[in-house]
Structure 1
Amino acid sequence: MSPNGDVFLLDPNTPAGPTRYAHARVAPASAHRTIYVSGIAAVSPDGKLEGATQKADGTWDLDIRAQTAAVLRRIDDIIRGASGGKGGIANVIDSVVYVLDMKAHYAGMNEEWNKVFADRASAPARATVGVRELPDPRFVVEIKVVAVVDFE
């Protein structure tokens, strides 16, 4: 184990590419373990980007709702994988949501968020930050979370 915990990759056979980061880190502890999930965009392990459709003129139709839903599903998959199935999106305690345009994207992102976290009692702490750009011009949202899972 590395000093910053165990690494988790959704698909460890995927080439590292130009950027290197773990999908999650599982910090060492007793029964409860903390899982730190990297900023996740709407790209599946096979490289498909959800919520981005190229139009005939070469521009992109970007759907904040589809991208947010895809990101939240990926985060759930990552936590389930990193915890050996003992946790999921419901274990998220803290999050940071990055959106490209607060006026255009916040409401749609929040609608999808609220489908996963139905009430304030189950929702994690959250900061939502408007950013100038994300790593790929087709991304409109990226979400980073911390989850705590009971491993016993």
Structure 2
Amino acid sequence: MAPNGEAYVVNPNASEGTSRFANARLSPASPHRTIYVAGTACVRPSDGTWPGVTENADGTLTLDVRVQTAAVLENVDNVIKGATGGKGGVQNLIDAVVYVVDMDRDYAGMNEEWNKVFPTRAVAPARATIGVRQLPDPRMLVEVKAVAVVEM
């Protein structure tokens, strides 16, 4: 079993080429803590830098959803590690909601980075991806809110 419990897939024979997430996750039965991770962006809490954001000389921004997604998932990993004294990480996610500003432009890139962290449905959390008009900061293309379960 994966560290984040057992994956439940409605159609386990379906190709993983287009959907690398479980429909649901069954929480491990052992003693555990549930961690509810607030909406997390790419900004680094330690130094305030914004991976995937370039401020151009003319004041415009160049944004990269792939770099931002990788940074978001790393930030989520660090939150879980911090909250559990290093006993858990992003692999303990059981549920996630991904907010994307422009689904047509950014979904594929976000999903590619997601699939690098969660390469199969057997280890991926249940997930919803929602297109939103905007996020709290114009530099944000993607934000993740999640729930993890960690054996303590």
Q: TM-score, normalised by structure 1?
A: 0.79
Matched residue type, 1:119: T
Q: In structure 1, how many angstroms separate the alpha carbons of the residues matched to 2:63 and 2:100?
A: 12
Q: Indicate the structure whose relative CO is greater, using CA pairs within 8 Å and at least 6 residues apart.
A: 2
Deviation per CA, 1:106-128, whole angstroms, max 9, x where unpaired? Answer: 00000000000010100000000
Q: Residue 123 in 1 paired to residue 132 in 2?
A: no
Matched residue type, 2:85: G
Q: Which runs of 5+ in 1 are unaligned?
A: 1-29
Deviation per CA, 1:47-100, whole angstroms, max 9, x where unpaired? Answer: 111111011221000000000000000100110110111111110000000000
Matched residue type, 1:64: V
Q: What is the aligned partner in structure 1 of residue 43 from structure 2?
A: 43
Q: What is the aligned partner in structure 1 of residue 32 from structure 2?
A: 32
Deviation per CA, 1:16-72, whole angstroms, max 9, x where unpaired? Answer: xxxxxxxxxxxxxx8211000000000101211111101122100000000000000
What's the Cα RMSD here?
0.9
Q: What is the aligned partner in structure 2 of residue 143 from structure 1?
A: 144
The percent identity for this pair of structures is 66
Q: In structure 2, how many angstroms separate the alpha carbons of the residues matched to 1:126 and 1:97?
A: 7
Secondary structure of 1:109's aligned partner = helix
Q: TM-score, normalised by structure 2?
A: 0.79
